[in-house]
Amino acid sequence: MQNAIHQPQSILVLGGASDIGRAIVRALDSPTLRRVILACRNPDDVETTGLSDHAEVVAVAFDATEHAAHESFVQSMAATYGDLDIVVQAFGRLGADDGDDPEAAARLAEVNYVGAVSSGLAVARQLRAQGHGTLVVLSSVAGVRTRPSNFVYGSTKAAQDAFATGLGHWLHGSGAHVLTVRPGYVRSSMSAGVPEAPFAVDPADVAAATVKGLRRGSDVVWVPGILRWVFGILRFVPGPIWRRLDR
């Protein structure tokens, strides 16, 4: 359980190889932190050193597409390591120019959205049973208004975002909470090779905003904050202009 200044004892990262997920762990590190669980497809390949000066860091096997196993996985993590204070849903795939490949688009949706639903509900049930804890969902501004150049990816993030915010309402009053994080372009291994967009940030910036949101009890965090106002305008830009902006 977190202490009075919202420092967690345990963190579970679903997508333990994620640059942003790992940055969040570093930002939350404190003498209170006892255990960090990095859940990923290839735990033997994930670096567990350098994330915390205080906690035990372990890597375990997890696959976002093994939907039927997600509830038992979350239960086993709680049974093995104790109550889960912070769970970060950090897995995902980036798709660009994916409209010409229906099969690839379906695989993208299975990871980014279907995996988010099955694992998110499994986590929510555990947090509700505990009576405390926060699920941090790494969404994206790409889902606020989908761009022609990556509309399949954007649609998966829009769906994930809608699920996360709805899940937060569903958990209201249970003691558990959902924080939806909407970053713009993040300089990370996932975005390598993708042209940098305006208002680009680093994983540490996303982590800092996430920690601030956790301590404030926020429901949604935009990174950087100016994107809240930028997309407040862009979502109403006429279609012909929106398409031109994406060139």
**How is domain 10-245 classified at the architecture level of CATH?**
3-Layer(aba) Sandwich (3.40)
Task: Report the pLDDT value the prediction gives residue 150, as an integer from 0 to 100.
Answer: 86
Q: Average pLDDT for residues 28-45, to the nearest whole number?
A: 95
Q: Which phi and psi angles does 34 have, rounded to 5°?
A: -110, -35
Task: Report the pLDDT value the prediction gives residue 2, as an integer from 0 to 100.
Answer: 63
Instruction: Please check the confidence at residue 234 and state whether its pLDDT lies above 70.
Output: yes
Q: Under a CB-based contact definition with an 8 Å cutoff, are residues 22 and 51 in contact?
A: yes
- d(Cα 71, Cα 76) in Å, to the nearest integer? 9
- d(Cα 24, Cα 14) in Å, to the nearest integer? 12
The DSSP H or E segment spanning 220 is strand 220-223
Task: Report the pLDDT value the prediction gives residue 97, as an integer from 0 to 100.
Answer: 58
| pLDDT, tens digit, 9 for 90 and up, residues 114-149 | 999 999 999 999 999 999 999 999 999 999 988 888
| pLDDT, tens digit, 9 for 90 and up, residues 50-104 | 899 999 999 999 999 999 999 999 999 999 999 999 999 999 988 755 567 888 8
**Which sequence positions are flagged as catalytic?**
153
| pLDDT, tens digit, 9 for 90 and up, residues 146-186 | 888 889 999 999 999 999 999 999 999 999 999 999 999 89
Q: The pTM is what?
A: 0.93
- d(Cα 69, Cα 187) in Å, to the nearest integer? 32
Q: Average pLDDT for residues 6-23, to the nearest whole number?
A: 94
Task: Report the pLDDT value the prediction gives residue 20, as an integer from 0 to 100.
Answer: 96
Q: Domain-by-domain residue ranges, the chain?
A: 10-245
The token duo for 58 is 């372990």
Task: Report the pLDDT value the prediction gives residue 243, as an integer from 0 to 100.
Answer: 85
